[in-house]
Amino acid sequence: MDSSKTQSLVSDLIRFLQKWGLWEDTTILANGNRYSYSAERTCCYGSLNYVEFEESVNPEDYTRGITEERDCLGNPVWRSFSNPEHILDMVYEGPLCMLLRYDTYETRKSEISKETWEYIFDHTDILNDYLYENMNVSVLRIFWRRYWRINLITLTILYGIRLYSIRGKNIRSL
């Protein structure tokens, strides 16, 4: 794969991870470049926010780890997990690791894009579960009558988006 296609793939991958709040504690190594999550949230790479960029890096410097093997003196053997035949290497901890290793989606709510929140609300019962667990309300209509707009503002702050519709229905008509 040529350099421009690899760069495009990396950019698309970063956008996807950022959209879902999975970019935190992730590093992508491709074409001798390093793209990492910016913990200070000040760095940008092109149109991508929170990306630290470094040129001329050796992927093996970032993908070395201890194996279960021992040398003749009983010391642990370190080796690189980088494969030069692959298009890219990824090193991740944080939310992406939790998702892949434990099938658990835990991320900072502020890291999730508005588009993703809309998808979550349209395809899950997260709002209904929250209302039932925290306010003992099983139907949104009852919540709307009982708590009206004051708690709607609380939910808006909690989830960081406007709850202008739920599953395609105008919230005022519920």
Residue indicated by tokens 């579960």: 129
**Per-position pLDDT tens, the chain of length 174:** 688 899 999 999 999 999 999 999 999 999 899 999 988 877 888 888 899 999 999 888 888 888 888 888 888 888 888 877 788 999 988 999 898 888 888 888 888 888 887 787 777 777 667 766 776 665 555 555 555 445 545 555 555 444 444 444 444 433
For 54-160, where are the alpha helices, taking DSSP H only? 94-102, 114-123, 126-135, 140-159
pLDDT at position 165 is 41
Q: Rounded distance, CA 107 to CA 22, Å?
A: 7
Q: What does the block give as tokens for 94?
A: 């944080």
Which 3-state string (H, E, C) describes 42-61? Answer: CCEECCEECEEEECCCCHHH
β-sheet bridge partners, residue 89: 29
Q: What does the block give as tokens for 147?
A: 């708590």
Helix axis angle, 114-123 to 126-135, nearest 10°:
80
Q: Rounded distance, CA 86 to CA 72, Å?
A: 32
Residue indicated by tokens 């690189």: 80
Q: Rounded distance, CA 92 to CA 35, Å?
A: 12
Nearest to 54, CA basis, from 29, 33, 37, 32 = 33
pLDDT at position 143 is 55
